[in-house]
Structure 1
Amino acid sequence: MARTKEFDPDAALQSALELFWRRGYEATSMADLVEHLGIGRASIYATFGNKHELYLKALDRYNETRDPGLLHELSQPGPALPAVRTVVRRFATEAGSSERVKGCFVTNTAAELGAHDPAATRRVEASWSHLETLLHSALIRARAQGELPADRDPLTLARMLLVLMQGLRVVGKASDDPGRVRDAAEQALRLLD
């Protein structure tokens, strides 16, 4: 007879996500995970696989649950540029907030593992591609509606905004000056005028 799990795998995955997000991949040991999740090493392996597999599952969870309203926000009928500006400003505000110490789990993963972990890099790229596509679509609408000058390339602008937004997260994580990220965001948004 198979034993039933004595823990909630969903809650354990969320707890692992929070630990990895706060400490990073390399600084989190299996012993840390055992202690933080409150479940045995064998149960972690049986349910999630090794530490790397658990990390990737946590990153998948983050990507699935992070900012679910972004699509809705950027695809509303009516003027598109105000929504784009709102999203960029929100990223700047979040980057300059007290939560900035954790940063963005995707951005943290890119910085820590991106150069040598193809599985993590694929997930980072998927997240960035999703955001870029949302921005690109909104900027195409903005140009079609006459909000964005006809000589502006929506794809290039979307890519610039994606890089800016990720950079805001990196700088905001280490800077004590929220004006730094706010000013950078406002300067970039002038390119949409």
Structure 2
Amino acid sequence: MARTKEFDPDVALQAALELFWRRGYEATSMADLVEHLGIGRASIYATFGNKHTLYMKALDRYAEHRDPGLLTELSQPGPALPAVRAVVRRFAHEAGSDDGRLDGCFITNTAAELGAHDAGAARRVEASWNHVETLLHSALTRARAQGELPEGRDPRALARMLLVLMQGLRVVGKASGDPARVRDAAEQALELLD
């Protein structure tokens, strides 16, 4: 007869996500996971696979629940450019706040730590960035169609610039104790939308 699990895999996955997010992949050992999740190594392997598979599952969970307000913010009826500006300013504020600075963004952290040598991580990062870029592109295309953005501006190129800026804000915000650094960078970039 099969033994029933004595833990909730969903709760364990969330706990693993939080630990990986805070410490990174390489700095998190299986012993750390055993201690943090409060379940045995064999149970972790049986439920989630190895450490890498668990990390990828945690990254998938993060991506599924990432910034649910972003779509809502960027697809509101009416003027689109104020929404784009508000999103960039929110990213800058979060990156410069104590909470945002300490953990950063799990996607951005993964890109920096694993993106260059882990194809699975790179695919997940790219999918997340494509999602954000698509939302920004759609809002900027709408802004240009509504006359908020000059005709000569390329919504795709601007969306890509803002995506790179927002990711950069998260990296610099995580390492810097000066919130003005990310705020000033965001404001300068937003001037390109005028």
- TM-score in same-fold range (> 0.5): yes
**Does structure 1 residue 133 correspond to structure 2 residue 134?**
yes
How far is the alpha carbon of 1:103 from its aligned partner?
0.5
2:8 is matched with 8
Aligned partner of 2:74: which letter?
Answer: L
Unaligned stretches of 5+ in structure 1? none
Percent identity, aligned pairs only, is: 86
Aligned length in residues: 193
1:47 is matched with 47
Residues in 2 aligned to 1:134 and 1:79: alpha-carbon distance in whole angstroms: 15
**Does structure 1 residue 168 correspond to structure 2 residue 155?**
no
Alignment root-mean-square deviation, CA:
0.5
Residues in 2 aligned to 1:83 and 1:157: alpha-carbon distance in whole angstroms: 14
Following superposition of structure 1 onto structure 2, how do residues 71-86 of structure 1 map, counting pairs within 5 Å?
71-86=71-86
Residues in 2 aligned to 1:57 and 1:44: alpha-carbon distance in whole angstroms: 12
**Does structure 1 residue 63 correspond to structure 2 residue 63?**
yes
Aligned partner of 1:28: which letter?
Answer: T
Residues in 1 aligned to 2:171 and 2:48: alpha-carbon distance in whole angstroms: 29
* TM-score between both structures, scaled by the size of structure 1: 0.99
2:105 is matched with 104
2:118 is matched with 117
Residues in 2 aligned to 1:116 and 1:21: alpha-carbon distance in whole angstroms: 18
Unaligned stretches of 5+ in structure 2? none
Aligned partner of 1:51: which letter?
Answer: K
Residues in 2 aligned to 1:52 and 1:172: alpha-carbon distance in whole angstroms: 27
**Does structure 1 residue 37 correspond to structure 2 residue 37?**
yes
- Indicate the SS of the match to 2:153: coil
Residues in 2 aligned to 1:172 and 1:69: alpha-carbon distance in whole angstroms: 21
- Indicate the SS of the match to 1:159: helix
Aligned partner of 1:30: which letter?
Answer: M
Aligned partner of 1:54: which letter?
Answer: L
Residues in 2 aligned to 1:47 and 1:72: alpha-carbon distance in whole angstroms: 35
How far is the alpha carbon of 1:27 from its aligned partner?
0.3
Residues in 2 aligned to 1:181 and 1:73: alpha-carbon distance in whole angstroms: 21
